[in-house]
């Protein structure tokens, strides 16, 4: 579903005054402006958002996989209000207790010796910083990433992405920034490539590139390119291969960080210490725009004597850092990471039930509360309903229609390619899962009717 279009009744209903003014003066993201029809949200409560029409919608994708704390995180709300009164802004060369506290907490919750963080405001900026740091540290220039990936909208991050948003003719991106090498993915469903072979290929590519690659960049569990999980030994082996060729491992945990998979970071699922982790979204539960690029002490020490040629006006913004610090306290004190693991198991079972019952539900994938169901028009032959390029095409896709029917049933799901993304806030209960799965159960009848057998 194009994220701006919510609800089957969108065409018939009267536009609100705010929607009309908004459309007149705002350029919408990732859309032809003719199709930009935003729905006015007027209120939020716990895990629901309320539209101007009075619909209260259970949010089972955490918006864009980012509102991991739901909408009533009081500790974060108060921290933001206090900080905005005390130190609304100071330049990044100054210190605040908000940034100090957050940086210290990040060193605690991230794996291994990851210790010092560069702060920015969005996931794409976190990746841009990671590229510069990896290049400086290794003295090498290239960045290797995979085809089924999204790393952000700015020049280098989108060039590193394999997403159709990079290759679309009108993307204004191609040929992209130089020095980006693309590698295959460990993706089994509907692909002829053996996951094992993809690692061997990467090994060979790094050698053939003459060991000029500064970093291998991956989402440990792929998000907006279809919720993909690698084999268990994939990430540890990838780290080894990268290091054998003198490259760092950057894990883009913008989507998977902060408990989503039932561990603080998806890297923890595989006991891997990346050289760099990039993060955003869940870092503040999206109460403030904030991102981070955390590096190992070894990489940080290199920067002690070498220029970090990078910065932003809003780096380490005090109000955003206060939100980040309070968010981490909330994850900890409410046991949200553990809840994601426990309720994640319940959700996984319920989604497997949908796959058993619905011919169009091809495969469930994911870990914890990072789940998705890929829809197939030929389940036996594993043919997805949509082409990858449909992500940027004008076509209304079957997966969008399924999400729209679920929305009409009162539950919001984000879609990605042929996949219904099921990534609720981390505090959801089994009864929230029951409600969401019932809405999806009904909606999948729409795609079942389109299965070609
Ligand atoms: C894995 C991943 N990396 C990077 C980004 C870019 O983050 P942002 O939109 O905050 O720039 C996203 C956004 O969805 C993402 O999913």
What average pLDDT does this structure show over 271-279?
A: 98
Whichever domain contains 115, its CATH number is 3.40.640.10
Neighbours of 385 (CB within 10 A): 24
Q: Calculate what percentage of the chain has a pLDDT beyond 70.
A: 96
Alpha-carbon distance 365 to 374, whole Å?
Answer: 8
Q: pLDDT tens for residues 227-236?
A: 999 999 999 9
What average pLDDT does this structure show over 414-426?
A: 94
Q: Is the CB of 253 under 6 A from ligand 1?
A: no
* 286 lies in the same domain as 347: no
Alpha-carbon distance 187 to 160, whole Å?
Answer: 18
Q: pLDDT tens for residues 134-168?
A: 999 999 999 999 999 999 999 999 999 998 888 77
Q: Is the CB of 293 under 6 A from ligand 1?
A: no
The pLDDT of residue 3: 40
Q: Is the CB of 152 under 6 A from ligand 1?
A: yes
The pLDDT of residue 393: 75
Q: pLDDT tens for residues 337-370?
A: 999 999 999 999 999 999 999 999 999 999 999 9
Ligand 1 center to residue 125 CA distance, Å? Answer: 9
* 431 lies in the same domain as 311: no
Last residue within a domain, chosen from 333, 360, 383 = 333
Strands 248-252 and 276-279: parallel
Task: Tell me the pTM.
Answer: 0.96
Query: Alpha carbon of 295 to those of 28, 58, 435: distances in Å?
Result: 34, 37, 41
Say if residue 303's pLDDT is above 50.
yes
If we measure between CA atoms, which residue out of 279, 287, 321 comes closest to residue 97? Answer: 321
Is the sign of the CA dihedral 102, 124, 422, 435 positive or negative? positive
- Which residue's CA is minimally distant from atom 13 of ligand 1? 152
If we measure between CA atoms, which residue out of 98, 154, 100 comes closest to residue 127? Answer: 154
- Which residue's CA is minimally distant from atom 7 of ligand 1? 123
Would residue 2 count as lying in a domain? no
Residue 109's domain spans which residues?
A: 74-333
2 confidence band (pLDDT: 50, 70, 90): very low
Q: Which of 150, 250, 261, 267 to mutate to test the pocket of ligand 1 (most atoms within 8 A of CB)?
A: 150
Ligand 1 center to residue 123 CA distance, Å? Answer: 5
What average pLDDT does this structure show over 374-401?
A: 82
The pLDDT of residue 387: 76
Whichever domain contains 418, its CATH number is 3.90.1150.10
Q: pLDDT tens for residues 67-113?
A: 999 999 999 999 999 999 999 999 999 999 999 999 999 999 999 99
* 201 lies in the same domain as 253: yes
State which ligand 1 atom lies nearest to the alpha carbon of 153.
Answer: 11
pLDDT: which is higher, 193 or 215: 215
The pLDDT of residue 235: 97
Last residue within a domain, chosen from 333, 364, 379 = 333
Q: Is the CB of 63 under 6 A from ligand 1?
A: no
Q: Is the CB of 156 under 6 A from ligand 1?
A: no
Q: Is the CB of 219 under 6 A from ligand 1?
A: yes
Question: Is the peptide bond prior to 175 cis by the omega test (within 30 degrees of 0)?
Answer: yes
Q: Which of 254, 255, 260, 419 to mutate to test the pocket of ligand 1 (most atoms within 8 A of CB)?
A: 254
Q: pLDDT tens for residues 100-123?
A: 999 999 999 999 999 999 999 999
What average pLDDT does this structure show over 416-436?
A: 96
Question: How many domains does the structure of the chain reveal?
Answer: 2
* 324 lies in the same domain as 433: no
Q: Is the CB of 123 under 6 A from ligand 1?
A: yes
* 46 lies in the same domain as 87: no
* 312 lies in the same domain as 390: no
Last residue within a domain, chosen from 286, 311, 333 = 333
């Amino acid at each position: 579903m194009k994220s701006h279009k919510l609800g089957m009744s969108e065409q018939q209903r009267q536009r609100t005054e705010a929607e009309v003014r908004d459309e007149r003066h705002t350029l919408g993201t990732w859309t032809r402006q003719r199709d930009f029809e935003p729905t006015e949200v007027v209120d939020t409560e716990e895990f629901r958002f309320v539209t101007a029409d009075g619909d209260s919608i259970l949010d089972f994708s955490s918006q864009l996989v980012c509102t991991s704390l739901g909408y009533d995180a009081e500790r974060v709300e108060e921290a933001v209000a206090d900080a905005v009164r005390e130190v609304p802004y100071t330049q990044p060369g100054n210190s605040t207790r908000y940034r100090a506290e957050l940086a210290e907490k990040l060193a605690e919750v991230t794996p291994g010796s990851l210790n010092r963080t560069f702060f920015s405001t969005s996931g794409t900026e976190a990746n841009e910083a990671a590229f510069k740091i990896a290049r400086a540290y290794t003295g090498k220039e290239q960045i290797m990433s995979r085809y089924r990936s999204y790393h952000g909208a700015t020049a280098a991050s989108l060039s590193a992405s394999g997403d159709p948003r990079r290759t679309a003719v009108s993307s204004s991106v191609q040929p992209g920034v130089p020095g980006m090498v693309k590698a295959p993915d460990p993706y089994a469903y509907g692909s002829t490539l053996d996951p094992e072979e993809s690692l061997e290929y990467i090994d060979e590519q790094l050698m053939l590139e003459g060991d000029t690659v500064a970093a291998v960049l991956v989402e440990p569990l792929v998000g907006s390119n279809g919720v993909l999980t690698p084999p268990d030994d994939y990430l540890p082996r990838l780290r080894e291969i990268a290091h054998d060729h003198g490259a760092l491992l950057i894990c883009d945990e913008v989507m998977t960080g902060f408990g989503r998979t039932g561990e603080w970071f998806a890297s923890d699922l595989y006991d891997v210490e990346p050289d760099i982790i990039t993060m955003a979204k869940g870092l503040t539960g999206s109460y403030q725009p904030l991102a981070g690029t955390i590096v190992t002490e070894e990489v940080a020490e290199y920067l002690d004597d070498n220029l970090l040629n990078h910065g932003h006006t809003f780096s380490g913004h005090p109000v955003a850092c206060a939100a980040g610090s309070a968010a981490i306290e909330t994850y900890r004190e409410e046991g949200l990471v553990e809840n994601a693991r426990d309720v994640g198991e319940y959700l996984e079972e319920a989604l497997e039930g949908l796959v058993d019952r619905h011919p169009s539900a091809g495969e469930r994938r994911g870990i914890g509360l990072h789940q998705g169901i890929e829809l197939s028009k030929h389940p036996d032959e594993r043919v997805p309903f949509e082409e990858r390029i449909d992500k940027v095409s004008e076509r209304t896709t079957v997966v969008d229609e399924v999400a729209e029917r679920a929305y009409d049933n009162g539950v919001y799901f984000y879609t990605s390619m042929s996949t219904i993304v099921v990534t609720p806030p981390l505090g959801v209960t089994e009864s929230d899962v029951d409600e969401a799965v019932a809405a999806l159960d009904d909606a999948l009848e729409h795609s079942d009717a389109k299965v070609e057998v």
